[in-house]
Amino acid sequence: MTTVSSAEHTRRDFLYIATGAVGAVGGAAALVPLIAQMNPDASTIAAGAPIEVDLAPIADGQIIKVFWRSKPIFISHRSKKEIDAAKNVQLATLPDPEPDSARVKAGHDQWLVVIGICTHLGCIPLAHQGEFDGWFCPCHGSQYDTAGRIRKGPAPKNLPLPPYKFVSDTKIQIG
């Protein structure tokens, strides 16, 4: 069987192009729901609404863990010593330089709120451990200081800050 292609444009040429165009557009359109269904669904997004956390029961030097959007959030009530340690750092020596003032809300130096997920590969670092007495990740040895900044190990970035604000002096809203 050989295909004879005529020199002139025929109705079959038109049908080829029209069918091909419908197939390409339709195929691409069909991919949208197939891919989008894997994104977080409506209930997951709804469950990610802001939460309020009462800071009053957290003792000086204590770190608590709360969950927001399935992510652990570390809330550290930093002692004077920890705040000083975080402030007295040569910024140029940090892998991801950020001053301590950019890590906390102005006037609330004692409260550090970070997402407790190692920026390397997503493990949860252990509090009050490591050379800088901040966090230590047991998976691949990343070490964070008392401002949650990466100091040593394979993680590329500081522990990220969640969106949050002080509702009152002893209460924050995360999200």
Partner 1 sequence: MSGNSTYQPQNAVLQWFEKRLPIGGLIHSSFVAYPTPRNLNYWWTFGGILSMMLGIQIITGIVLAMHYTPHVDLAFKSVEAIMRDVNYGWLLRYLHANGAAMFFLAVYIHMFRGIYYGSYKEPREVLWILGVIIYLLMMATGFMGYVLVWGQMSFWAATVITNLFSAIPGVGDTIVAWLWGGYAVGNPTLNRFYSLHYLLPFVIAGVVILHVWALHVSGQNNPTGIEPKSEKDTVPFTPYATVKDGFFMACFLILYCWFVFYVPNFLGHPDNYIPANPAVTPAEIVPEWYYLPFYAILRSIPDKLMGVVALFGSILILAFLPWLDTSRVRSGRYRPLFKQFFWLWVIVCVGLGWLGSKPPEGIYVILSRLFTLYYFGFFIVILPLLGIFEKTKPLPNSISESVLGAKA
Q: Which stretch binds partner 1 (CB under 8 A): 31-39, 50-58, 78-86, 104-112?
A: 31-39
- The DSSP 8-state label assigned to residue 92 in this structure reads G
| Binding to partner 1 in span 55-94, by CB under 8 A | 65, 67, 69-72
Answer for which of 50, 61, 154, 175 binds partner 1 (CB under 8 A) is 154
Q: Is there binding between residue 39 and partner 1 (CB under 8 A)?
A: yes
Strands (DSSP E) found in 25-174: 51-54, 63-68, 71-77, 111-115, 126-129, 134-136, 143-144, 150-152, 164-168, 171-174
- Tell me how far apart the alpha carbons of residues 157 and 141 are, in angstroms, rounded to a whole number: 14
Q: Is there binding between residue 44 and partner 1 (CB under 8 A)?
A: yes
Q: Is there binding between residue 121 and partner 1 (CB under 8 A)?
A: yes
Least distance to partner 1 from the beta carbon of 120, Å?
6
Q: Is there binding between residue 163 and partner 1 (CB under 8 A)?
A: no
* Identity of the residue, 83 or 124, whose beta carbon is nearer to partner 1 in the bound complex: 124
Q: Is there binding between residue 124 and partner 1 (CB under 8 A)?
A: yes
* Identity of the residue, 65 or 81, whose beta carbon is nearer to partner 1 in the bound complex: 65
Nearest CA to 147 among 66, 68, 70, 63? 63
The number of residues in the chain equals: 175
Exposed (0-12), middle (13-18) or buried (19+): which is 116, by Cβ within 10 Å? buried
How far apart, in Å, are the Cα atoms of 168 and each of 19, 46, 122, 136?
64, 25, 31, 31
140 carries an active-site annotation: yes
Least distance to partner 1 from the beta carbon of 48, Å?
6
Phi and psi, residue 59, nearest 5°: -75, 160
Looking at 60-159, list the stretches that DSSP marks H as alpha helix, in order from N- to C-terminal side. Answer: 80-87
How many residues make contact with partner 1 (CB under 8 A)?
29
Question: Catalytic amino acids?
Answer: 140
**Which residues contact partner 1 by CB under 8 A?**
35, 38-41, 44, 48, 65, 67, 69-72, 119-126, 137-141, 154-156
